[in-house]
Every structure is written in structure tokens, then in C-alpha cells.
Amino acid sequence: MTLSSAPGKVYLFGEHAVVYGEPAVPCAIERRARVGVEQRSDGKLRVHAEDLSLDGFTVEYGGDTNDRPDVDVAENLVDAAMGYVDGAIEQVRDATGEPEVGFDVTIESDIPLGAGLGSSAAVVVAAIDAATRELGVTLEREEIADRAFRTEYDVQDGQASRADTFCSAVGGAVRVEGEDCRAIEAPDLPIVVGFDGGAGDTGALVAGVRALREEYDFAADTVEAIGDVVRNGEKALAAGDLEELGRLMDFNHGLLSALDVSARTLDTMVWAARDAGAYGAKLTGAGGGGCIVALDPTEATETALKFTPGCEDAFRAALAEDGVKRLE
């Protein structure tokens, strides 16, 4: 069996706006998806998943995702999980010139699915790396990121950006603007994550923002304003100015709320973090439920979140300097 892992991520700035060509700055965190792959001779796929907020499932099929695992989870999450695996394997078949190859795929993850921490990107990145290496092909990280992006783009009906997959593949802090993806320097950020136990529907949330932009000029202006926040945030990041980073994160959350992608639980956690003395706090990812990210070098924010109604978990997250890791 060939085994790879890839990290999740938080957005310091720029989610949703990055879909429209504005810059975004995500950071990889040490919460990882681990994917083990073993070639099989009959051309079928057997996928066994643990964690992923799905209580685990196993399904064997010939590449047809109509074979759904029988688990008590929102259908869009299960379908997305299966779609990402299918898409990753199709990229592997294309990259290796093995169109009929089958695999046993085992997925373990400590990244909540659909919660804004890049779980799908981490699974796809790790799966592409492990499966290509199982067939004797080692891809550069940039190619893994590109193929993982194509998978997310297809599953999300053309509404994905390169941010999540590039960040997961290369690690650290990255800057993404359209096709331009690059690693950037970042200080040791005191990242705290709060999780409400839920998950947003990424496709629906992205479509909602698109509809607002088409209906209202000021919604389009709001998206552009997020881009301005990101550009100022890059300067603060380069200077290591945590206070300014926090203020700009607060601005970013307000703009995302105006685009109707926040949720009561997310707003409650954001305010709990701010009241506890965090430099700043905002939702991370698509929104609608899931996670917030705060900056606080003390224990105050993590403690406050653990006692906040609606917060299921709170934890400190170290910056993941390495992206995809080749474990076996």
C-alpha cells in the first residue's frame, strides 16, 4: 500500500472573492487527511473512509457513484465525498496512462468534512499523490495541485478556485489570484479554530454569492472590497503585524456576512473570540456553518470558545510548513 497525507487549511482572507479573480491568502494547518492506495486487478474501486464526519463507510463499485454508502449524513456531503474520490482516480488514470486501473482506497482524516478547513482538497491531493506513486509515477507538487483543482472544479460545477488544492499540495501560507499561485512568507501565526459541528453546502453558498452579484451592484462592490482587504492583509502578514491582521480579518468577516454566507453559530463564535481578546476572528471557507479562525497567542480564545453555545470543538492549529507528505 502507498500512503500519502495532505493538510487542511484556514483562510486568513479572501474566500468567495477568490472565485471572481480577487486574491486570497489561505494557510495550511496540521490537520491532515491520510489516503492509502493499493492497486487491484479487476478495475473496480473499493473505498473505505473513516472519520470525515461520516461515521465511516465502505463501498465497492465500478466507478458509478450511484452506489452510495448507507450512512446517516446529508446526501450532498456523501455525494461530494464520493465525487472527489472518483475525480481523483480519473486524474490518476490520465496522468499514468492506465485508464482501466482499479484501487483499494482507504481514507482517514481529522479534518471535518464541509466545515471550511479544506477536507476535500486534502483528500484529493493525498489520493492523487498516493495512487500515482502506487503505479510508479511521482508527480511534482504543482501538478498534483493542478489535477486536484480540476477535480474540485468538476465536482463543484465550475465554482472552485485553486486556493484550497494549491495550499494543501505545497503547504505553508500561499497567495492565489486567478491562475497565479505562489508560496509566501508568514510569521508563526497563533491560529485558533472553532467548529460548530456543522457544514455548509459549498455549491449552494457560492451560487448564492453569484446571484447577489448579478442582482446588486453593491454586492459586486463587496466582493471587490474583500480583494482590497486581502491586499492590505498581505502587507500586514509580511510585516508580522498581528494586530493589523486581526483588524482586517474582522473586516473580512463583516463583508462575508453582508454576502449572506455566515451563520448564527459562526457569528457567535467570532464574537466570543473577539470578546476573549483575539486580535481578530472570521469564518473560514464557504460558510453557512463549520469553522471560524481567530488569532490569539494566549489560551483565552480557545477557552472561551469551548464554553460558547453552538461551539462543538475548539483547538489550536499549527501552520503546516509541508504540504503533501509521502509516508510509504
Contact by Cβ (8 Å): 288, 114: no
Which residue reads 466570543 in cell numbers? Answer: 272
Helix/strand/coil for 95: helix
Nearest to 259 by CA among 196, 205, 302: 205
Contact by Cβ (8 Å): 252, 284: no
Which residues are designated catalytic? 164
Contact by Cβ (8 Å): 296, 278: yes
DSSP per position, 184-225? E------EEEEE-S----HHHHHHHHHHHHHH-HHHHHHHHH
Tell me which amino acid residue 217 is: D
| Domain boundaries defined on the chain | 2-184, 191-316
Fold for the domain defined by 191-316: Alpha-Beta Plaits (3.30.70)
In sequence order, which residues have a C-beta less than 8 Å from that of residue 152 and are 6 or more positions away?
84, 87, 120, 121, 124, 160, 164, 165
- Quote the CA–CA distance of 277 and 289 in Å, as a whole number: 23
Strand 280-283 with 57-61, pairing: unpaired
Q: Is the pTM of this model over 0.85?
A: yes
* pLDDT tens across the length of the chain (328 residues): 999 999 999 999 999 999 899 999 999 999 999 999 999 988 888 888 765 554 445 555 455 445 555 444 444 445 556 788 889 999 999 999 999 999 999 999 888 877 889 988 999 999 999 999 999 999 999 999 999 999 988 887 777 789 899 999 999 999 999 889 999 999 889 999 999 998 888 888 989 999 999 999 999 999 999 999 999 999 999 999 999 999 999 999 999 999 999 999 999 999 999 999 999 999 999 999 999 999 999 999 999 999 999 999 999 999 999 999 999 7
- CATH for 2-184 is 3.30.230.10
Tell me which amino acid residue 176 is: V
- Per-residue confidence (pLDDT) for residue 51, from 0 to 100: 58
Q: CA 92, 127, 78: angle at the middle one, nearest 5?
A: 110
- Per-residue confidence (pLDDT) for residue 160, from 0 to 100: 76
Helix/strand/coil for 292: strand
- Per-residue confidence (pLDDT) for residue 54, from 0 to 100: 46
- Per-residue confidence (pLDDT) for residue 58, from 0 to 100: 54
- Quote the CA–CA distance of 299 and 248 in Å, as a whole number: 22
Nearest to 309 by CA among 200, 201, 194, 190: 194
E-only strand ranges, 147-290: 173-177, 180-184, 191-195, 280-283
